[in-house]
Amino acid sequence: MTPRPEPAGRAPRPARNSTGAEPVAGHEHCRGHGSDQYPGQEPGRRTGVTVACCQIAPRVGRVGENRERIRTAVLAAADRGADIVVLPELANSGYVFEDADELRSVAEPLDGPTVTEWEELAARLGLVIAGGFAELGEDGRVHNSGVLVDDSGLRASYRKAHLWNGEKTWGFTPGGAPPPVVDTPHGRIGLMVCYDLEFPEWVRLAALRGAELLCGPVNWPLYPRPEGERPGEIVRVQADASVNRMFVAVADRTGTERGQDWLGGSVIVDADGYPVSGLRLGEEAVVTATIDLAEARDKTISERNDVHADRRPGLYAGIGTEQP
């Protein structure tokens, strides 16, 4: 990647961070940070945070097998020095449901076995984990949800606000709360799920609440695109990052499920809107990058421009409430 020229009045940013993408394979169940080091950094000292997006192939309804896939991927990510691990949308259950009964049969409460195991993995491995699952609420409603856990337990839960296609007929209830932003030892982390990322207003909420890294569990269907073009889903995530000067880490799924092919477009994007991880389209892989979240605190894009301070909400405050 060739960095864009720095605008006049802003000091050059450091060279981009170490990246990688490896298949999910065997692991030693230990944490080693390897060569994730910035240019000029003293040996043995790390100033960045390593983010891993686990691109796996869940199978609809096979909850036990899916938990094993997740566990294997998280352990592989930890072996590669991950501090923050992002898992796909509905990672515990798969996605293409036949009906509401099938969905309900795999949904779990927040304190169910899936989230509990993620809490245990986070505590044992010293990780922050963000992932998506089918949540059975206390009122009996089912939500397409995400959670953020760390070594202290559950830090935040979120229910997808913008439902996609079949989710509107399978029995999901949309959430109504804004995306959470949580302080962690690594920085401020926001969370939302898949189609939520397509709504600039929603992404802006997380950015304005101070998110330095936005984690997005997704299931991106594979759609045709012009030869040589990057998938549109990735392009839109790049825009999310750039217009807010905020890192975005998206964990997609792969494989084919009941005739639906999945993109497998997991990506980590920097605060300038450029991918800093390798793409492994359609493959099972752990995609990583070591990033400096402090960069997301600098919202300037020129000597006299700041992407948040330059906003004029009074001019467009009503736009978000108008319906076509």
Show which residues are catalytic: 89, 160, 194
Q: What is the radius of gyration, based on Cα positions, of the chain?
A: 19
At residue 1, what is the residue type?
A: M
Q: Residue 191: phi, psi to the nearest 5?
A: -145, 130
Q: Could you report how far apart the first and last alpha carbons of the chain are, in Å?
A: 39
- Helices then strands, counting H and E runs in the chain, come out as 6, 16
Q: Are strands 187-191 and 213-217 parallel, antiparallel or unpaired?
A: parallel
Question: In what side-by-side order are the strands of the sheet with 142-150?
Answer: 19-22, 285-291, 49-55, 84-86, 128-136, 142-150, 153-159
Among left, alpha and beta (phi > 0; psi -120 to 50; other), residue 295 is: alpha
How many Cα atoms within 13 Å fall on the side-chain side of residue 143? 25
- Residues in contact with 208: Cβ distance below 8 Å, sequence separation at least 6, in sequence order: 308
Task: Write the DSSP symbol of residue 112.
Answer: S
At residue 4, what is the residue type?
A: R
Q: How big is the chain, counted in residues?
A: 324
DSSP states of 11-37: PPPPPPPPEEEE-S----SS---TT--
Q: Are strands 247-251 and 213-217 parallel, antiparallel or unpaired?
A: parallel
Cα–Cα distance, 236 to 44 (Å, whole number): 36
What tokens were used for 215?
């984690």
